[in-house]
Structure 1
Amino acid sequence: MASSSTGMAPFERVAETLRQAVRTGRLQPGTKLPSNRELAKQEGVSLVTAQKAVGILQDEGWVIARPSVGVYVSDTQPAPQPPETLDELRQEVATLQATVTELKERVSDIERRQRPTKAD
């Protein structure tokens, strides 16, 4: 399956990486983001690219910049935007299908482990 960042500009890829970190809980509300220089280094992009990614996230409401203090994950996530193109919709469907498959496997594994054995 293609990566969800395929075809994205570097600043879009960095922004999406941070969005995913918030969605999955790796970045909690109130967490301070690394400096733009550190973010650029972590993501292997230029400082300007990192700044642009953080600016987009700020415009979308994912992060809040506090002058002279830093950039923090917002307490509330913006509402998800519907897909704008057929390719975006296909990517979302593929992601959902992969998630459902993973969940089915996890449930099956849990059920297998909970089955009584003959020794019980």
Structure 2
Amino acid sequence: MDGTSAFAPKYRRIAEEIRHQIDTGDLRPGQQLPTETELTERFRVSLPTVRQALGVLRSEGLIESRHGIGSFVKETDRLQRPGWRHYGRARADQKLLTPHLRHDIVFAGIEPVPTHVADLFPPGTTQVVTRRRHLFDKETGRPEEIGASYIPTSFAAGTYIEEPTVVPKALFLCIEELSGKRYAKAVDRLIARLATADELAILELANGAPVVHVVHCAKAEDGTVLEVAESIWPAERTVIVNEYPITTD
């Protein structure tokens, strides 16, 4: 089931399947989920397992249960921003990481490495292939994100990555094909700050509004930097959800 391991507990795999339907818009805000009985039959599991999965989704703020009626996708102005599980989902369905949003590519081409991410690239890197995008709610047209990706010229220069059009699938899948390397590890920097004047205008925010600024550096197993990406989200409309195994290392 998408980004969850086949060895994960059944309730986690069920929760991931329903979460995926919410992420992609197959289950919309306010829509009722199948009944517990229907879910037990669909996934061939026990009722306690289904209830445990629904409990996970409730704790994440994705669904709400109404006594005597059932469970519903929670209606909220805040967008769920899932962490690493997006990669597994995109590998499975070969779609964009955020297919529920409209992507407008506002720039694509070679430019100097931005100073605020220069330390994430190998010393001596002076240029990258940059892709800048604005993301909008498909139904309302409301701006939801300012994004950019910075990719090494060694494998991206002169390719379709430089074209100002939406790529046919998740950008990281395109980068893996071009580089011949697979995304293996990443580091995220999350910064809470006030929006700049340009960000206020693009995201249609009031003066003094805060944003969440995420810088994501993805590397191959051998340490090669494959992509540095950044996203800027309106803080008042954002919930960041990270699910990960806890190790004893």
TM-score where L is the length of structure 1: 0.65
Q: Which residue in the other structure is 1:18 paired with?
A: 18
Q: Which residue in the other structure is 1:67 paired with?
A: 67
Alignment of structure 1 residues 70-81 onto 2, 5 Å: 70-76=70-76, 79-81=80-82
Alignment of structure 1 residues 1-120 onto 2, 5 Å: 4-6=3-5, 7-76=7-76, 79-83=80-84, 92=87, 95=90, 98-99=94-95, 103-104=167-168
Tell whether the 8 Å contact from 2:40 to 2:50 is kept in structure 1 after alignment.
yes
CA positional deviation for 1:45: 1.4
Letter of the structure 1 residue corresponding to residue 44 of structure 2: G
Stretches of 4+ aligned residues off by more than 3 angstroms: 93-96
CA positional deviation for 1:59: 1.1
Q: Which has the higher strand share?
A: 2
CA positional deviation for 1:14: 0.2
CA-based RMSD of the aligned residues comes to 2.8
Tell whether the 8 Å contact from 2:63 to 2:72 is kept in structure 1 after alignment.
yes
CA positional deviation for 1:46: 1.2
CA positional deviation for 1:68: 1.2
Q: Which has the higher contact order (CA 8 A, sep 6+)?
A: 1
TM-score where L is the length of structure 2: 0.34
Tell whether the 8 Å contact from 2:35 to 2:70 is kept in structure 1 after alignment.
yes
Tell whether the 8 Å contact from 2:11 to 2:53 is kept in structure 1 after alignment.
yes
Letter of the structure 1 residue corresponding to residue 39 of structure 2: L
* In structure 2, distance between residues paired with 1:46 and 1:35: 13
CA positional deviation for 1:48: 0.8
Tell whether the 8 Å contact from 1:60 to 1:78 is kept in structure 2 after alignment.
no
More displaced 10-residue stretch of structure 1: 72-81 or 29-38: 72-81
Q: Which residue in the other structure is 2:150 paired with?
A: none
State, as a whole percentage, how many aligned pairs show the same letter. Answer: 27
Q: Which has the higher helix share?
A: 1
CA offsets, 1:7-43, max 9 Å, x none? Answer: 3110000000000001111111111111111111111
Unpaired stretches in structure 1, ≥5 consecutive residues? 106-120
CA offsets, 1:23-81, max 9 Å, x none? Answer: 11111111111111111111121111101000111111110111112110011366335
